[in-house]
Amino acid sequence: MAVAEEVTVWTGLPVLAGALYGLGNLVTRKWCAEEGTLTLLGGFFALMMVWGTLGCLVLWFLPRSVPEGAAGWATRGWVAPQGVFLVITVVQGVGSLVGVGMSIKAYQIANATVVSVLENTLLVFATLWAVVLWREVPGPTEALRLGLVTAAGVMIALREPRAAGPVPEEARPAPSAGTQAAWAGEKRP
């Protein structure tokens, strides 16, 4: 049985990562609704920097033989970006700050079920970009998975109640301290 031979202790790691990511998204609204979005964003990227630094240190203290070219990127350690790659990295970093910040704010103020479906459209658009940029056409299995993501999004969107007018005051999430400070002296709608 070839499948059983390929299953190792590391096989469950992506599942665990996905479960923890989903759990984090679920609790963001409940536990962090009043926290500042920039605080959460800064904490997220600071932790990413810590993990990246730890990874670089491990590869520095325990060097490994590295395959040439793109094949060795994960075991190469720190290499300072230069030229066009540096520009692309900075643009991607700024885009990530904006995108992750918007995702955090969305999870703070909206139902995680709806936000996660919108976040999963990333998979559809990433696939479209792969087709446009590299002519990587998804196979039948990938197309089925993308169809399931799209169908789930449509089902959840149809299930959500529609507001006939403005959201009632009691249904609005509590504003963060920063939002309250911005509203000070202003008349709220």
- Quote the pLDDT of residue 72: 83
Domain that holds residue 148: 110-161
Does 134 map to a domain?
A: yes
Return d(Cα 10, Cα 134) in angstroms, integer.
Answer: 30
* Residue 82, domain member (yes or no): no
Yes or no: say if 37 and 104 are a contact pair by the CB < 8 Å rule.
Answer: yes
Residue 22 lies in a domain: no
pLDDT for 94 equals: 95
What is the full per-residue pLDDT of the chain (189 aa) written as tens digits? 455 667 887 888 888 988 998 888 888 878 888 889 999 999 999 999 999 999 989 988 988 888 888 888 888 888 888 999 999 999 999 999 999 999 999 888 888 888 888 888 888 888 998 999 899 999 999 999 889 888 888 888 788 776 555 666 666 666 666 666 655 655 444
Q: Is residue 145 part of a domain?
A: yes
Query: For residue 121, what are the contacts with CB-CB under 8 A and spacing of at least 6?
Result: 149, 153
The CA distance from 28 to 146, in Å, is: 26
Question: In total, how many domains does the chain have?
Answer: 1
Residue 146 included in any domain: yes
- Measured between alpha carbons, how far is 146 from 125 in angstroms, rounded to an integer? 10
**Do the domain assignments include residue 114?**
yes
Q: Is residue 35 part of a domain?
A: no
Q: What was the pLDDT predicted at 12?
A: 87
Residues 6+ apart with CB under 8 A from 173: 29, 33, 108, 109
Q: Is residue 144 part of a domain?
A: yes
Q: What is the pLDDT of residue 188?
A: 47
